Structure 1
Amino acid sequence: MAPAHLRRPPQPSPVFTATAQSIVADAERLISTSREIQDKVVAEVKPDSATFANVLSPLTQDENVMALEAHILGFYQAVSTDQKLRDASSKAEELMDEFFIESVMREDVFGLVDAVLKRNESLDPESRRLLEKEHKDFVRNGLGLPAGPQRARFKEIKKRLSQLSIEFQKNLNEENGGIWFTHEQLDGVPEDVLSGLKKGDGENAGKLWLTFKYPDLFPTMKYATNSDVRRQVMVANENKCNQNVPLFREAIVLRDEAARLLGYPNHAAFRIEDKMAKTPETVNKFLGDLRTRLTAGGRQELEKLKELKKELDPQFDGRYYLWDHRFYDRLMLERDFQLDQQLIAEYFPLSTTIEGMLKIFEELFGLEFVEITGDDRAAVAPTGKGNDIVWHEDVQVFSVWNDEGEGSGFVGYLYLDLFPREGKYGHAANFNLQPGFLDKDGNRRYPATALVCNFTKPTPKKPSLLKHDEVVTLFHELGHGIHDLVSRTTYSRFHGTSTVRDFVEAPSQMLENWCWTPSQLRALSRHYSTLTPEYLAGWTEAQQARSGGKTATGPPSERIPDDVIANLIRTKHVNDALFNLRQLHFGIFDMTVHEPTSHAAIEGLPLSATYNKLRHEITQMDGPEALGGGDEWGHGEATFGHLIGGYDAGYYGYLSSQVYSTDMFYTVFKANPMDPQAGRRYRYQVLEKGGSQDEMQTLTEFLGREPQTTAFYQDLGLA
């Protein structure tokens, strides 16, 4: 049990007691309060007396307080099991988005902010940044346009884009499709996946329902020996949300119209102006250079995979299809590198892996994580009821503290929601529930952050086991969570991961390197059979089934063996060119649809065909078009939540921030990943800053120079 002083955080936890009625009512109350504050500022302050203290301070204090409830009101749509609650959460988000659009188009407020900027008071750097960004937000939201039809049209577009984004993501969250298959069709798929599938009755008696959720989809694409089954699953997955096709098209066309209204040549120019890259030309040059460097490597990797397919597939037709890749990539790793992903997963039970990861972050950053369970939950709940501090029984919650060396103070709350369920957000992500900031009295308000993932659920005989790529995903998302927790900014708008999009992934991507460090992999690992007698019995039974009834030869080693780690690390860059070409496909498609030569060009662009053609050209793999299906066979853009949810003209950031993350790791951590001094310096120079200063300044101060691409290309073997 945690020491008493770590069991009573100074700030109560958030509560999750909303009803469908209260969510919308709370959103309306927040909006009403906020509007009153804006009206009061306008009524009491005239441009000639406008200062940061009487204009920006009340507005940002209101923004801070609003964020404490607003983030949670919008969060229910991603995690609640109650359809009515999810719908209400979507409605609340729509209302709040509309109010935000109204706020940033208030000419009376803009007049005061403009007057403050012109006054040029002496301000601390974060307040100066806030003032400049606030001013620019008004201009970028149409107040540079003359009042009248143009501005009205711009506002109309902004409102519609908000509605499209919410509806698009809701369709993805609610998606519950799948395909019925026989056991025979799913030959090769691991038994622990099959045993978790819904069993059919009536006309589907004897069949299994395979969903498009990750724990079903990925193992099927990796292990199903029947290539036609893999093709069916892959094509159906690309078409699982076709109601989003018209929403995506409408959003792309409206974005282009809005950008042109503001005087930009296209949406990409508008979006990238405020990012580290500054111009679409910089982005296109980076993506083009990377494509040139990767294409030859991708071709070589494909040739080797084709040879393997030719050897194993009697029906080989000389082509390598999109649905072949996960399957033959795995086979190559197993055959040429003796890499058994199922065996590796046995060493990474979810609970002990999380424990190990938190320990790494404790050592590196000077933190302590204390799980809040039992009676302690009631003690931190403002309602006095322990169940109120989580939104589902599966959720774990931790209080996070500085260790003695860092002053022992409270840091914030961390939530983990790790298993799939109906209506839940389908990928892996970190959600800020409450930001940190300084309140109007100068007291620190502490953050709360949630990891929402979809890992395989445990069974009585086996815990949830993570494949190595899932360990990497967990580390990545926990990296966002740590960024959210240790950030200390004055204003909520700069808190944690509220950085420019082409930097936000870098801190998390850098922490992925610990998943490729032998000492850390060993420390993280623990064979699941050593956790409980029931798991040992389950493992023994599985071994006997695998070996045709023979008794298992002794228990496995507790820690992952060194030779298995060595094999795993040797595979880090196997088929890496193909992996990065896939990322390039997403990035180049994103730029293509957001950088048309004219408005007519985007109106006439066949989006699905463009998505599929670009994928074929860039990844060099064949899709159904090679079988005479044409280029409209799938609608992958309709499942691509990133491009509707904030990464528009920004997906390149996953690749460009990889440049920054690799540079940081090679320069500061590679020689000794667990150096506590380097960890503390990273915490305070990079993570703590959030978006409160220019991200290039943050990076340059940490590296001691401007970032370089050398380490990135060296790591990929392309130097």
Structure 2
Amino acid sequence: MDKPRPPSVLAPSEIVPAMKMIISKFHHMQENIINTVTQSSACFANVFQPWAEVADETQGQLGMIWLLSYAAPDQETHDAVDAAGRLYNNAVTTWTSRTDLFALLRAAADKDEKLDPESRLWIQSKLRDFISAGHGLADERSIKQYLSKRSVIDQLRKQYNNNLRNNSAGLWIDEADLIGVSESDIKSWTVGSDENEGKRFVPFANGGYKTIIARAHKAETRKKMYLAEEAKVPANVDILRSIISMRDSQARLLGYDNHGSFRIQNRAIKSIEYVQKFLEQLKRSLVPHGREELQALRQVRDEHRLLMENDANDDGFTDNDRFYPWDLEYYKHIHSLRSSIDDTEISQFFPLEHTVLAMLRLFESFLSLKFTQIPSDLLDPACIWHEDVQVWEAWDDKESRFIGFLYLDILWREKKYKGSQNVNIESGYLKPDGTRNFPATVLMCSFPRSNESNCVLLKHQEVVTLFHELGHGMHDLISRTKFSRFHGTQLPVDFGEMPSTLLENWCWDREILKYLSCHYTLLDEQYLSEWHEKYPEAPDPPAQIPDDLVESIVKSRKTHRGLRLLHILVVSLFDLKIHTPQTHEEIEQVDLGKLWYDLREEIEGLDMICSRAIGHEHATFGHLVSGYDMGYYGYLSCLAYAQDVFQENFAKDLHSRDAWDRFRYGVLEYGGSHSDQLQMLQEYLGREPNYSALQESLLL
């Protein structure tokens, strides 16, 4: 079959004109509806269908513009994307303020025509867009005021995330204070001169912060890094407060009790009370488990300090009952080493290049797919935004049918999104002529670039992250929806993470770990030569990860897991509290920093006394201004769903063809086109979801 060309990347000079063309298409479509349709003649075919077709036609270029906001390597492109974003937000504000358009949308919806389920869902979602803009609850002037304020919120959200993305701060640290950090890491950091003679500049990004707090022996070094990173974006403190306050005001204008009540209508779980109950139940179960884990780390700390010269509580505190946040990752690492879990040794068997390829082969087997990389010499440079990017064709192996493009952009660089995520460039949908538009999706990570032999090695947790995010890409490629609006991972956030969270289970299986592994020295003779220079008396390393290391990984699964889940619970409760105040005055008066650190102390058991004085950790991550407001609990609800699905369908056989086919066609292929995700899950399971599966998986 003929296959399409990968989407072209827009040059900086093309971005704003492209956005103007997109806006023009929407404008002409809307004017045509206004000029040719009356309330009596309004129906799906002449009101909603034209809107859906323009949305489908333009989503690819919109997707490329939004992708560049995460991935563009140059400031010129980011500036152009910002300008285009302002144009788009203004246009959306204009057309969602039109009462004449809403009247026709409402009239068409009221016809209650016999339509397919996805078309009915399109009607519901478009009406919700307009009702959320105030239609039906206020006069036209109030609607415009509401939308104007929403545009201000959007700009604040953009500014908040730009502050995070563009932050290049770090600390100058004396080399003498870097004891415990590997020589290769130290060499990768900038050498100081003049007043910074004898120091290295350790950036917060590109793995610098994580390395210091997990490896530096001196507590004072870890403390300085931790507190500096917590205070890296002071401008975001007031921005976040403004966003939260304005959101609450906006929700109340629409007749909701608060912003949480407004947002919960777009979640899979439709009840704030249910979310509160779910989180409180987890709190009761998890906190005692977390305290046991913290006590174990406290014992490791006390024993370790006796062994480490110059490390005896040099943070200035002598109360051994306290446990400080800058000690957490360090003593987790020490504890892991004592449990025979050596991240450095394990990582030698998971070179990034090989591991990604092995994961693709697994997905080929599980989902009857075939991936073929487009060779760099055959790839049009206009189709990639950086030389690091790879492009793969995805095929349905059963039907020999092309299904989309998978991009890999997985190494850290300046001006790139700092975390790991899946980004959709183009959605799949059914064209008016009956053919399909094919999706294009990006695995985007920021794994630190290696400074030894140019071979990037993954810790086991990074292997889990990689498989998780690649799972989102599979969801994007496999989805087959009528409209682009519901394609792939466009799901409520309290359900959308379920498939990828489910897949994390495979990264703890002995057979799968063996399959994914390959000692990095097998990839290049130079790597092997350099390895023998380090270990001249040693034989060649084994090709696959040894059984003892595999066992150490498998046994470590529940190690510190309670503490990790407690931190997710902290963010979830913070999200819930700031978005569900009883009155607007309550949110105006709340001390966000105090609330955050109170929760960390209450839930995680850490002493945040130093952070309270200078930190603003609650304003250093982007989730709550990027779609996860009144939705962060979704990481926990999705984990509960995922464990239920795993135990019911996959635990006995990770390779079951029947189980994988049922999951592909009963969950993944729907994308977001099912009107009720929890009903879809119930249909797939054949019973009500079991929320206790999460606690059971923790042996609670």
TM-score (norm 2): 0.96
Partner of 1:572: 557
Secondary structure of the 2:360 match is helix
* 1:215/1:454 contact within 8 Å kept: no
- CA distance in 2 between counterparts of 1:445 and 1:554 reads 53
User: What whole-Å deviation, never above 9, does each CA across 1:376-402 have from its counterpart, x for those lacking one?
Assistant: 31xxxxxxxx21111000111101111
Partner of 2:654: 673
Equivalent in 234, 246, 258 of residue 266 of structure 1: 258
Equivalent in 352, 355, 366 of residue 353 of structure 1: 355
Partner of 1:114: 106
Partner of 1:383: none
Equivalent in 464, 469, 472 of residue 456 of structure 2: 464
Structure 2 residue 204 is the aligned partner of structure 1 residue 212? yes
Partner of 2:309: none
What amino acid is the match of 2:8? V
- How many residues matched? 688
What amino acid is the match of 2:690? Q
Equivalent in 117, 130, 150 of residue 138 of structure 1: 130
* 1:50/1:116 contact within 8 Å kept: yes
- CA distance in 2 between counterparts of 1:347 and 1:157 reads 52
* 1:199/1:209 contact within 8 Å kept: yes
- CA distance in 2 between counterparts of 1:541 and 1:192 reads 15
User: What whole-Å deviation, never above 9, does each CA across 1:346-382 have from its counterpart, x for those lacking one?
Assistant: 00000100011001100000111111113431xxxxx
Equivalent in 56, 72, 87 of residue 64 of structure 2: 72
Query: 1:589/1:632 Cα in 2 relative to 1: closer, same or farther (>3 Å)?
Result: farther
Partner of 1:546: none
Equivalent in 587, 605, 610 of residue 620 of structure 1: 605
* 2:490/2:671 contact within 8 Å kept: yes
What amino acid is the match of 1:556? P
Secondary structure of the 1:453 match is strand
Structure 2 residue 320 is the aligned partner of structure 1 residue 327? no
Structure 1 position 151, deviation (Å): 2.2
User: What whole-Å deviation, never above 9, does each CA across 1:289-333 have from its counterpart, x for those lacking one?
Assistant: 100111111111111111111112233531211011111011111
What amino acid is the match of 1:16? V
Structure 2 residue 237 is the aligned partner of structure 1 residue 235? no
Partner of 1:547: none
Query: 1:243/1:542 Cα in 2 relative to 1: closer, same or farther (>3 Å)?
Result: farther
After superposing the two structures, state which structure 1 stretch, 411-420 or 188-197, moved more: 188-197
Alignment of 1:592-603 (within 5 A): 592-603=577-588
Partner of 2:698: 716
Secondary structure of the 1:49 match is coil
* 2:10/2:65 contact within 8 Å kept: no
- CA distance in 2 between counterparts of 1:613 and 1:541 reads 51
User: What whole-Å deviation, never above 9, does each CA across 1:575-623 have from its counterpart, x for those lacking one?
Assistant: 2111111110100011111011211111111112211221111111112
Alignment of 1:119-198 (within 5 A): 119-198=111-190
- CA distance in 2 between counterparts of 1:416 and 1:565 reads 27
User: What whole-Å deviation, never above 9, does each CA across 1:12-58 have from its counterpart, x for those lacking one?
Assistant: 11111412x32112111211221111111111111101111111111
* 2:358/2:516 contact within 8 Å kept: yes
After superposing the two structures, state which structure 1 stretch, 301-310 or 517-526, moved more: 301-310
- CA distance in 1 between counterparts of 2:538 and 2:77 reads 52
- CA distance in 2 between counterparts of 1:575 and 1:85 reads 42
Secondary structure of the 1:454 match is strand
Equivalent in 392, 398, 402 of residue 398 of structure 1: 392
* 1:77/1:87 contact within 8 Å kept: no
Secondary structure of the 2:4 match is coil
What amino acid is the match of 2:330? F
Partner of 1:368: 370
Structure 1 position 207, deviation (Å): 1.8
Secondary structure of the 1:521 match is helix
* 2:421/2:444 contact within 8 Å kept: yes
User: What whole-Å deviation, never above 9, does each CA across 1:217-255 have from its counterpart, x for those lacking one?
Assistant: 212211110111111111111111111111111100010
Query: 1:486/1:305 Cα in 2 relative to 1: closer, same or farther (>3 Å)?
Result: same
What amino acid is the match of 1:349? P
Alignment of 1:345-494 (within 5 A): 345-377=347-379, 386-403=380-397, 406-459=398-451, 461-494=453-486
What amino acid is the match of 2:277? K
Structure 1 position 267, deviation (Å): 0.6
After superposing the two structures, state which structure 1 stretch, 103-112 or 362-371, moved more: 103-112
Partner of 2:643: 662
- CA distance in 1 between counterparts of 2:369 and 2:195 reads 56
Equivalent in 595, 608, 611 of residue 610 of structure 1: 595
* 1:434/1:448 contact within 8 Å kept: yes
* 2:164/2:621 contact within 8 Å kept: no
- CA distance in 2 between counterparts of 1:113 and 1:465 reads 54
Equivalent in 220, 223, 244 of residue 236 of structure 2: 244
Structure 2 residue 617 is the aligned partner of structure 1 residue 636? yes
Secondary structure of the 2:411 match is coil
Equivalent in 606, 613, 632 of residue 651 of structure 1: 632
Partner of 2:291: 299
* 1:613/1:631 contact within 8 Å kept: no
- CA distance in 1 between counterparts of 2:74 and 2:611 reads 40
Q: Which runs of 5+ in 1 are unaligned?
A: 378-385, 544-550
Structure 2 residue 546 is the aligned partner of structure 1 residue 552? no
- CA distance in 2 between counterparts of 1:632 and 1:103 reads 46
Partner of 1:32: 24
Kindly report the root-mean-square deviation, in angstroms, between the aligned alpha carbons of the 2 structures: 1.4
Structure 2 residue 79 is the aligned partner of structure 1 residue 87? yes
Structure 1 position 148, deviation (Å): 4.5
Query: 1:535/1:462 Cα in 2 relative to 1: closer, same or farther (>3 Å)?
Result: farther
After superposing the two structures, state which structure 1 stretch, 148-157 or 285-294, moved more: 148-157
Equivalent in 7, 26, 32 of residue 14 of structure 1: 7
* 1:72/1:433 contact within 8 Å kept: yes
* 1:75/1:89 contact within 8 Å kept: no
TM-score (norm 1): 0.94
After superposing the two structures, state which structure 1 stretch, 368-377 or 445-454, moved more: 368-377
What amino acid is the match of 2:507? C
After superposing the two structures, state which structure 1 stretch, 88-97 or 651-660, moved more: 88-97
- CA distance in 1 between counterparts of 2:440 and 2:145 reads 38
- CA distance in 1 between counterparts of 2:94 and 2:466 reads 38
After superposing the two structures, state which structure 1 stretch, 299-308 or 489-498, moved more: 299-308
- CA distance in 2 between counterparts of 1:451 and 1:97 reads 27
What amino acid is the match of 1:394? D
Structure 1 position 697, deviation (Å): 2.3
Structure 1 position 103, deviation (Å): 2.6
What amino acid is the match of 1:391? W
After superposing the two structures, state which structure 1 stretch, 500-509 or 451-460, moved more: 451-460
- CA distance in 2 between counterparts of 1:541 and 1:604 reads 63
* 1:74/1:90 contact within 8 Å kept: no
- CA distance in 1 between counterparts of 2:185 and 2:373 reads 30
User: What whole-Å deviation, never above 9, does each CA across 1:497-534 have from its counterpart, x for those lacking one?
Assistant: 10111001101101111101110000000001121111
- CA distance in 2 between counterparts of 1:266 and 1:655 reads 23
* 2:506/2:512 contact within 8 Å kept: yes
